[in-house]
Amino acid sequence: MARKSNKIQALIQLLLFGGILLFVNILGSYLYTSFDLTEDKRFTLTEATTNLLATVDDPVTVRVLLTGKFSKGFKRLQRATEEMLGDFNAQNGYIEYIFEDPFSGTTEEVQARQQEMAKDGVIPTRLSDKEIDETSEQYIYPWIIIYYKNRSRNVNLLENQTPGANPEVVINNSISLLEYKLADAIQKIKNETPPVIAFTAGHGELIPEQTASLEKELRKYAATGRIVLDSTVKISQKVGVVVVAKPRTAFSEKDKFKLDQYVMNGGKVLWLIDRMDITLDSLRGKPFYIPVDYPLNLEDILFRYGVKIEPNLVLDMESSRIPLVVGETGGKAQTELFPWYYHPLVASRSDHPVVKSLDRVQMYFPSGLDTTVTTPTPLRKTVLLQSSPYTRTQFNPVRVNTQIARYKPDETKFNKPSMPLGVLLEGSFTSVYRNRVTSEMEAGLKAMGQTYKEQSVPTQMIVVSDGDVARNNIIPSSGEVIPLGYNRYEKYTFANTLFLTNAIDYLLDNEGVIEARGREVKLRLLDKVRAKKEKTSWQLFNLGLPLLFLAIFGFLFRFIRRKRFATS
């Protein structure tokens, strides 16, 4: 009788347990929550991203091309992409996503699909993935295509690789930037009124052909154009960012006043300034060249804003190379590549969103930045670009010649490490014209219905001590534009475009989405040498330990059961 009662009680408990599970599943289909217990909070969206997703009121379809059969590293990226899109969908059901294999179908279908995607710049990437015992190479499409209303935007999920970079580090960097890339793309595709980016003209700045590569990238989400300060009454606050790209002649006080009041009213400026008048072409056919200062008349305004561009040249042992003649064969000059210390390759060591996980940036005859300038109001100064620990400076006047590249450098002279070459300034700036506004300036402002402001609202600007960092090369015979950052001697494209677009994005970003770019997902790399050496031991451990626990559990369960029924 007691045994029958125990069976009925056990059946009731089983039914009750099943009913609770069913209730929890039904409740879970209506409620969604999660707990992020990871150290780096990798599964928690930033507040800015959450706020952005709350504003999406029309379907956003994300087409993911990262699918198919590939190695473990890329599967990590695929899985992380799916999880991130799932988090986006949980925040807003309008975010929909589908996975497509771009290599599915017949050979003809795949080729036709690839040609169509290539027209929009969606091209495959060949990467090697080093496993414990072997290295595999294959083509993948690390792309997503986002559709919203009648617009679309392509996003490359894979971060740029430096030569010899660890593929696992590349994939980890890509995973850490997933939230930013998705949120940034949604923010830009939602924006029906694109922001305006104005390049100044009239002072010898880079012409449109020289910034064509950068502007092509910017036009994917913004309107770009030129503004001649001498021909305009003021700079409209509708201009999101003003870019001053390598001026070579002096700014008049009127032009500076317009820039100053634009900043005082909250305007953002990207200063790309060459202090010294020198290029590689200056040395061609000459034994040496003595550069002079560009007469820009910008020293006072930049000084008031908190930075000084030194009248010097920064040399760095971490640099690109240039060809020099080493002999002649059959009437033809023979050349070799030599390090050219005046062209530093700058790898940022900052975790700021503008430069985090950024590849190296190619610079040309940069000058040092003095960021210790005292300002009337406190400003936050963040060094974005800086030279390597092996740096030296040459103050003007100095004779520059190519012979320095032919000899082994004296490392004792490269003793000024980490010179600032690009800095972000944030805060309330003070007008350079404080206490010296002329009656003519006041009359001009009054005619426009404006009043002079001597202190700005909180705003930002970025100063880079190299104007050529934004200049793309052009093939003279055809007029073809070479992508910005491409070095024809090194046959490598450096991160100039990404740095400048990140910088402009940061200045434009009023919603803080770019903060997600500063997130870090810690990479815990596998010790592959140890893993290979201890492979058998770990296999036995992983197989044997669960079996041992199972045997112990079975023995205890049988022992308790026999004891329980023996006493009943």
Quick one: 289 and 421 in the same domain? yes
* pLDDT score for 31: 54
Q: How far apart are CA 241 and CA 238, in angstroms?
A: 9
Q: How far is CA 54 from CA 47, 191, 442, in A?
A: 11, 15, 45
Q: Is residue 507 part of a domain?
A: no
Q: Is residue 297 part of a domain?
A: yes
Identify the domain boundary among 475, 494, 513.
494
pTM score of the predicted model: 0.78
pLDDT band, very low/low/confident/very high, at 559 (cuts 50, 70, 90): confident
Q: Are 276 and 290 in contact (CB under 8 A)?
A: no
Residue 132 pLDDT > 50, yes or no? no
In this predicted model, what pLDDT tens digit does every residue of 506-530 receive, in sequence order? 999 866 777 766 655 554 445 555 6
Q: Work out the average pLDDT over 77-91.
A: 91
Quick one: 182 and 275 in the same domain? no
Q: How far is CA 156 from CA 122, 223, 388, in A?
A: 8, 22, 29
Q: Is residue 121 part of a domain?
A: yes
State the CATH number of the domain containing residue 150. Answer: 3.40.30
The DSSP string of 469-492 is GGPPPB-TTT-PBPPTTEETTTTE
For the chain, what is the domain count?
3
Q: Is residue 375 part of a domain?
A: yes
The DSSP string of 19-88 is HHHHHHHHHHTT--------TT-TTS--HHHHHHHHT--S-EEEEE---SS--HHHHHHHHHHHHHHHHH
Residue 162 pLDDT > 70, yes or no? no
- The amino acid at residue 105 is G
Q: How far is CA 25 from CA 19, 33, 36, 89, 515, in A?
A: 10, 13, 21, 19, 36
Q: Which residues pair with 135 in a beta bridge?
A: 130
Q: Are 206 and 466 in contact (CB under 8 A)?
A: no
pLDDT band, very low/low/confident/very high, at 565 (cuts 50, 70, 90): low
Q: How far is CA 486 from CA 171, 208, 272, 348, in A?
A: 23, 18, 19, 18
Q: Is residue 4 part of a domain?
A: no
Q: How far is CA 50 from CA 187, 321, 424, in A?
A: 12, 46, 26
Q: Work out the average pLDDT over 39-60.
A: 80
Q: Token digits for 145?
A: 């295509």
Strands (E), 117-267: 125-130, 135-140, 143-148, 151-156, 196-201, 223-228, 239-245
* pLDDT score for 131: 46
pLDDT band, very low/low/confident/very high, at 37 (cuts 50, 70, 90): very low
* Best-predicted range by mean pLDDT (430-444, 482-496, 534-548): 482-496
CB neighbour class for 379 (10 Å; exposed up to 12, middle 13-18, buried from 19):
buried
Quick one: 63 and 38 in the same domain? yes
Residues of the domain holding 358: 193-494
* Best-predicted range by mean pLDDT (78-82, 129-133, 169-173, 407-411): 78-82
* pLDDT score for 136: 56
Quick one: 171 and 211 in the same domain? no
Residue 158 pLDDT > 70, yes or no? yes
- Count CB-CB contacts under 10 A for residue 249: 13
Q: Work out the average pLDDT over 296-316.
A: 96
Q: Is residue 506 part of a domain?
A: no
Q: φ, ψ for residue 120 (rounded to 5)?
A: -100, 10
Q: Token digits for 112?
A: 């036709």
Nearest Cα to Cα of residue 124 among 100, 142, 99: 142
In this predicted model, what pLDDT tens digit does every residue of 18-36 receive, in sequence order? 777 777 777 665 555 555 5
Quick one: 558 and 436 in the same domain? no
In this predicted model, what pLDDT tens digit does every residue of 192-206 receive, in sequence order? 888 999 999 999 999
Q: How many angstroms from the chain centroid is the CA of residue 323?
A: 31
Quick one: 148 and 230 in the same domain? no
Quick one: 183 and 126 in the same domain? yes
Q: How many separate helices (H) and strands (E) can be counted in the chain? A: 13, 24
Q: Which residues pair with 30 in a beta bridge?
A: none
Quick one: 544 and 411 in the same domain? no
pLDDT band, very low/low/confident/very high, at 433 (cuts 50, 70, 90): very high
Residue 164 pLDDT > 70, yes or no? no
Q: Is residue 509 part of a domain?
A: no
Residue 456 pLDDT > 80, yes or no? yes
CB neighbour class for 526 (10 Å; exposed up to 12, middle 13-18, buried from 19):
exposed
Looking at every residue in the chain, the average pLDDT score rounds to 85
Residue 351 pLDDT > 90, yes or no? no
* pLDDT score for 568: 55
- Count CB-CB contacts under 10 A for residue 86: 12
Quick one: 156 and 274 in the same domain? no
Q: Is residue 517 part of a domain?
A: no
* pLDDT score for 209: 95
pLDDT band, very low/low/confident/very high, at 479 (cuts 50, 70, 90): confident
- The amino acid at residue 88 is F
In this predicted model, what pLDDT tens digit does every residue of 211-231 receive, in sequence order? 999 999 999 889 999 999 999
Angle, vertex CA 309, rays to CA 308 and CA 310, nearest 5: 105
* pLDDT score for 203: 96
Identify the domain boundary among 163, 188, 213.
188
Identify the domain boundary among 494, 517, 543.
494
Nearest Cα to Cα of residue 268 among 374, 144, 354: 354
- Between 255 and 133, name the one with better pLDDT: 255
Quick one: 199 and 137 in the same domain? no
* pLDDT score for 523: 47
Quick one: 246 and 374 in the same domain? yes
Q: Token digits for 234?
A: 């003021």
- The amino acid at residue 191 is N
Nearest Cα to Cα of residue 470 among 222, 219, 215, 224: 215
Quick one: 359 and 453 in the same domain? yes
* Best-predicted range by mean pLDDT (78-92, 317-331, 514-528): 78-92
Contacts of residue 258, defined as CB under 8 A and 6 or more positions apart, other chains included, come to 229, 232, 234, 235
Classified as helix, coil or strand, 276 is strand
